[in-house]
Amino acid sequence: MSEPAIKTEPQRIIGRDKDMFLAEENPFEAMMERFDHAAQLLNLDPGLYKVLRNPEKQIIVSVPIVRDNGDVEVYTGYRVLYNTSRGPAKGGIRFDLNVTLEEVKALAAWMTWKCALVNIPFGGAKGGVVCDPSAMSMTELERVTRRYTSGIIETLGPDSDVPAPDVNTNERVMAWIMDTYSMHHRHTVTAVVTGKPIEMGGSLGRREATGRGCMIVTREALARLGMSLKGARIAVQGFGNVGSVSADLMAREGATVVAVSDKSGGVYDPKGLDVADLLRWAGERRHLSAYAKAEHITNEQLLVVDCDVLIPAATENVITRKNAPNIKAKVICEGANGPTTAAADKVLEEKGIFVIPDILANAGGVTVSYFEWVQDRGGYFWDLETVNRRLESIMERSFHEVLGLVDKHKVSTRIACYMLAVDRVAAMHRLRGMYA
């Protein structure tokens, strides 16, 4: 292979202690460390490298609202469009106290590569508001949503930027965004967001899509290792939408779910948990901390339980160089965005753990969001069987395209994912040329 055209800056070279610290602390640098590696292997043109390493647009808005008690509060909102060369920007909106511009920028880049990896015609975006939804009434949450929407409304649109739910947002929030946008445009525009209620143009299968995608690629990864999903022991960190659906679908396929957790902690039973009972419990009481039918463990302990498949489906940076050496799973399926730091990647690779990277593992959600966008624009809606069949086809095809690069270039699955995604975005830029 020819010498790479890209020479990365010293702080981005994998393996140096300082760089590992930077990558583990900064989500954008953690993501870009993988991008840099893929760019080197692709021998990416230096000019195109610069284009792809920088977001197209970063928006910061003030979000003032009147609280129910009459006080005025001003929150900060972000929206980052990372790259739109392949189509409208696509990415969720999260409401959380820990939202930062660096995080949103990293997630927008992830969405760019994710959409390219599964080859759907979207670019990448992400947004968020720095707030605590649990401390707000429903009316306050609606005011924040509508004011934030009005602040970024010039970038929104079915042909420009299409949000979706993310951390602490849901169908209800998407309905408010759609209504606010529609009122400004004086007609109903269902395709401006995805993840909406079914009654408003949402797609069947959208809520379960990310978890279903995780199940599909986990099944394919186990087959690659000569194993079956039936009888496989599964541990799931994060029992929210992605984690709970993954656990439920895998249990239905005959897997044994030995551990699950949420913010309050985890539960463990080496003989297998009753997932249906856990779902009922979580639906009624929200937290697993008082669940009495299994041994209680911490979220940190869950990561290192004896299992075949580990699904980190909670937050970023939970698998680090400190705990990676103790992970016993044969397969890691990254249901969350960025759960593994760049420094931990090398450890997992040396241990021979098969990692299904986030931009592939959790791409089921954006794939069915694409289906929803298509259905809204066409005004014709599919049945659940059609949605799930088409999702399975895209996830299986994408998984095996990645494996093809793994075998051809002898790289990790993560770098293969980035190589495939970055090459597709770069190819679009080459075809379109540089507007001046």
Condensed to tens digits (0 to 9), the pLDDT of residues 403-423 reads: 999 999 999 999 999 999 999
Which of residues 240 and 49 earns the better pLDDT score? Answer: 49
**Rounded average pLDDT over 174-196:** 98
173 phi, psi to nearest 5 deg? -65, -40
The pLDDT value recorded for residue 241 is: 87
Any domain includes 71: yes
Domain that holds residue 84: 57-189
Q: Is residue 368 part of a domain?
A: no
214 and 351 assigned to the same domain: yes
179 & 40 share domain: no
Compute the distance between CA of residue 42 and CA of residue 66 in angstroms, rounded to an integer: 52
> Which residues does the annotation mark as catalytic?
126
User: Does residue 305 lie in a domain region?
Assistant: yes
- Angle at the Cα of 285 (from 284 to 287), degrees rounded to 5? 135
243: domain CATH number is 3.40.50.720
Q: Do 278 and 239 share a structural domain?
A: yes
CB 296 within 8 A of CB 266: yes
**pLDDT band per the 50, 70, 90 thresholds, residue 291:** confident
Whether the per-residue pLDDT at 12 is higher than 70: the answer is no
- 259 belongs to a structural domain: yes
Tell me if 163 is assigned to some domain: yes
Kindly report the pTM of this predicted structure.
0.90
Phi and psi angles of residue 300, each rounded to the nearest 5 degrees, phi first: -70, -40
Which pLDDT tens digit goes with each residue over 75-87? Answer: 999 999 999 999 9
pLDDT score at 25? 57
pLDDT tens sequence across 205-251: 999 999 999 999 999 999 999 999 999 999 999 998 899 999 999 99
What is the average pLDDT across 362-391?
97
How many structural domains are present in the chain? Answer: 3
Q: How confident is the model at residue 28 (pLDDT cuts 50, 70, 90)?
A: confident
Are 234 and 294 within one domain? yes
Q: How far is CA 190 from CA 140, 170, 221, 366, 386, in A?
A: 24, 16, 36, 17, 21
Greater confidence (341 vs 383) lies with 383
Same domain assignment for residues 324 and 415: no
Do 36 and 123 share a domain, yes or no? no
What are the tokens at 32?
Answer: 């870009």
Same domain, 161 and 279: no
For residue 362, the model assigns a pLDDT of 95
The model's pLDDT over 55-66, given as tens digits with 9 standing for 90+, comes to 999 999 999 999
Question: Is 397 within a domain?
Answer: no
User: Are residues 64 and 35 part of one domain?
Assistant: no
* pLDDT tens, position by position, 29-43: 777 888 999 999 999
| pLDDT band (50, 70, 90) for residue 147 | very high
* Same domain as 301, residue 261: yes
Domain end among 124, 159, 189: 189
- Is 321 domain-assigned? yes
Residues 7 and 24 in one domain: yes
Same domain? For 252 and 334 the reply is: yes
Last residue in a domain, options 189, 224, 241: 189
3-state secondary structure of 311: strand
From 76, 130, 63, select the one nearest 99 (Cα to Cα): 130
Residues 82 and 1 in one domain: no
Query: What's the pLDDT tens digit per position in 85-102?
Result: 999 999 999 999 999 999
Give the pLDDT band (50/70/90) at residue 24.
low
